[in-house]
Structure 1
Amino acid sequence: MKHLFTFLTLLCVSLSIQAAGEQKQVFGRYEVHYMMLNSTTLSAEVARSYQLQRSGKMGYLMISVLENKEGGDLPQAVPAMVSARIKNLIGQERDIELREIQEQGGIYYVGNFSFDDEDIYRFEIDVKAEPGQDRPFTVRHQQQMYFE
C-alpha cells in the first residue's frame, strides 16, 4: 500500500511538471494515459519494488488504459494488450519491454528504455482494449529526453 501511494504521488507530480500537461489520447470510450520520464524521478525504493532500472541515462514509460462506461462517474482501469516502441530521429528503433502491474483498482504497464542526452524520441504505443479487437489504438508521441 505504501508503494502504491508513493507511485501514484509520483505519477501526479510527474504529470504536473510536464510542459504539455496531462498526456492522454482518447479513442471512443477508452483513454490511454502515458508518460515518459528519466528514471531518477523514481525513488530507489519505488524503482526496486516495480523492478525498474534507475539511472540518469534510463527512462521509464508508464501507460494506463481507462474505460468510460455509460452512466459511470469515473473512468475505470481495464486490462489491455499493450506494446511500445521507441525510435530516434535517425530511425534506430527498438521495443520497450512492458510489465503489467495491478494494484488497488489500477492497472499500469511499465518499462525502461535507454536514451541519449537531449535526443528527441518518437514513442509508439499500441493498445488492444477489447478481446477480438482487429486493430490497435495507436498513440504516437515525440519527446526530448535529458540526462540527470
Structure 2
Amino acid sequence: MRFHPATLSRLLAVAALVFSPVTLAEQMMSDGQYEIHYNAFNSSFITPEVAQQNNLVRSKYRALVNVSVLEIGEDGSKKATTAIVSGQAANLIGQAQQLEFKKIDEGNALYYIGGFRFTEDEQLKITLSVQPDPNKPAYSIEFDQRFYVD
C-alpha cells in the first residue's frame, strides 16, 4: 500500500500521539451507539510539520482539544463519523474561551481539533458539546485538566 507523503506524515504524527504519554490522558464515553474520544494536550507536543499541514498554532502557552466520534454498528464494528463539536475552556474564576473546532478528515479517521490559551500551572474546566446526529440532542462532556508551560 502506498501513501501520499502528506498522508504518511499525518499517519506518523497520529501514531506518535497514540503511542506517547499524551494518550494516558485520553478519555472516552460511549452509549452503545457512539464512542466519543477526547483529550487535551499542549500544542507544543505536535510537530511543526503537522501544525503547518493542519493550520494549527503551536505555542508553549496553547493547548489543543482533540475529539473523535465513532459510530458503533450492530455487529460491533466502529466507523469514524462526523459531528457538530463546540466547547469552551474556563479558568477557576470563570473566564472562558470559546473553542473553534477544525475538522481534520484523513479518509478513515476524523478529528475535531480546537485550541485555547493557558498560563503556567493553570487548572481549566473544558466543556464540550458533541452532536453526531443533528436530529438528536448533543452529548455534554466536562473535564478538568491542569496545564503547564512546556
TM score, norm. by length of structure 2: 0.89
**2:52 is equivalent to residue 48 of structure 1:** yes
Give 1:128's aligned residue.
131
Instruction: Give runs of aligned pairs for residues 1-148 of structure 1, distance below 5 A.
Output: 1-14=7-20, 16-20=21-25, 22-73=26-77, 75-133=78-136, 135-148=137-150
Encode CA deviations 1:42-93: one digit per residue, 9 max, x unaligned.
11101111111111111111110111111133x1111011111111111111
Aligned 8 A contact 1:23 1:34 in 2 = yes
Cα distance in 1 for residues equivalent to 2:80 and 2:107? 10
Which amino acid counterpart does residue 138 of structure 1 have in structure 2? S
Encode CA deviations 1:103-138: one digit per residue, 9 max, x unaligned.
0211110121100111110001101111311x2101
Give 2:3's aligned residue.
none
Cα distance in 1 for residues equivalent to 2:22 and 2:97? 27
Aligned 8 A contact 1:29 1:67 in 2 = yes
Cα distance in 1 for residues equivalent to 2:67 and 2:15? 15
Aligned 8 A contact 2:39 2:65 in 1 = yes
TM score, norm. by length of structure 1: 0.90
Cα distance in 1 for residues equivalent to 2:32 and 2:91? 30
Report the alpha carbon displacement of residue 19 of structure 1 after superposing the two structures with TM.
4.9
Report the alpha carbon displacement of residue 146 of structure 1 after superposing the two structures with TM.
0.6
Aligned 8 A contact 1:81 1:129 in 2 = yes
Aligned 8 A contact 1:3 1:49 in 2 = no
Which amino acid counterpart does residue 105 of structure 1 have in structure 2? N
Aligned 8 A contact 2:97 2:116 in 1 = no
Cα distance change of structure 1 residues 79 and 18 upon mapping to structure 2, 3 Å threshold: closer
Report the alpha carbon displacement of residue 147 of structure 1 after superposing the two structures with TM.
0.3
SS in 2 for 1:131: coil
Identity of aligned residues (%): 31
Count how many residue pairs are aligned between Structure 1 and Structure 2: 144
